[in-house]
Structure 1
Amino acid sequence: MQQMLRLPLYVVQSRPLGDVAAMRAKLHAHLRYMIDLEAAGVLFASGPYVDEAGGMDGAGMTILRAINLEAATAIARRDPMVVAGLRTVEVRRWLINEGVISLNVRFSQGSASLS
């Protein structure tokens, strides 16, 4: 067990507070914020929760790279949806210990897959 990765990341659970129409109005700003975090190397992964039919209720999960819980919380609270009072966030420290990730890039086909 000494070999386990023990990579610290921060999980942000977000839950909707406002109505869906108001959230749609802020969606572009929210996505721009997430893309900027991605470009800065802060965002590991992010996306909405969906039900079996593909429906979304505005809740989601984001995984951040940050120096500590306080920094991760500050990042999460700057999300335009949170600033507008449309979402609430809970941030927790998470250690990656087990799992596998595979990336398959086919240069000649211009494709990539993650599994």
Structure 2
Amino acid sequence: MSEDNKPTALPVAEVKKASAAMLQKQLYAIFTTPTDGIGPMLENMQDHLAFQVALEEEGVMYAAGPMWTDDEQEWEGEGLVIVRAESRADAIKIAERDPMHQRQARSFRVRPWMINEGTITVRLDSSTQTFAIL
């Protein structure tokens, strides 16, 4: 409760009940942040990207990529990785396997994330055998 006795949080069960008709797909967001600037990260980038591709091939990776500065002009080394896992503890184990984290070029934090809303549109052009995510 806040100082004015207004709730500041709700139990997960209440949120799920209120959105019962929605997807309720449980995933985990790994927020990853550089620990000592860009240099150590660049040194580990090739191994990190190979790890990310391996997660994708295993079916663990939902999505991942760099996070730009608020003005969208630079990259300070932050990233976001969304994974499929049985629990937050399992998602932490996944994050710990990342070479960036093992070599302490980045630190991380894991938050549970439930997908309720959104649309993914894929366009497949048969004649050119190309696709695009719109």
Tell me, yes or no, if structure 1 residue 17 matches structure 2 residue 46: no
Partner SS for 2:112: strand
Give the TM-score normalised by structure 1.
0.93
Paired residues in the alignment total: 115
Task: State the match for 2:8 in structure 1.
Answer: none
- Equivalents in 2 of 1:109, 1:73: separation in Å? 41
SS in 2 for 1:49: strand
Amino acid at match of 2:36: G
How far does residue 81 in structure 1 lie from its aligned partner after superposition? 0.5
Specify the code of the residue in structure 2 equivalent to 1:113: A
2:9 corresponding residue in structure 1? none
Gaps of 5+ in 1: none
In the TM superposition, what are the counterparts of 1:43-54 in structure 2 within 5 Å?
43-51=61-69, 52-54=71-73
Letter of the 2:110 partner, please give it.
V
Q: 1:111, 1:50 → 2: CA distance?
A: 28
Q: Which has the larger radius of gyration?
A: 2
Please identify runs of 4+ aligned residues in structure 1 that moved more than 4 A.
none
Q: Does 1:77 align with 2:96?
A: yes
Counterparts of 2:27 and 2:47 in 1: how far apart (Å)?
A: 24
Give the Cα–Cα distance (whole angstroms) in 1 for the partners of residues 131 and 68 of structure 2: 23
Secondary structure at the residue paired with 1:109? coil
How high is the TM-score relative to the length of structure 2? 0.80
Identical aligned pairs, as a percentage? 32
What amino acid does structure 1 have at the position aligned with 2:119?
V
Report the CA distance shift for 1:9/1:53 in structure 2 as closer, same or farther (over 3 A).
Answer: closer
Structure 1 counterpart of 2:131, one-letter code: A
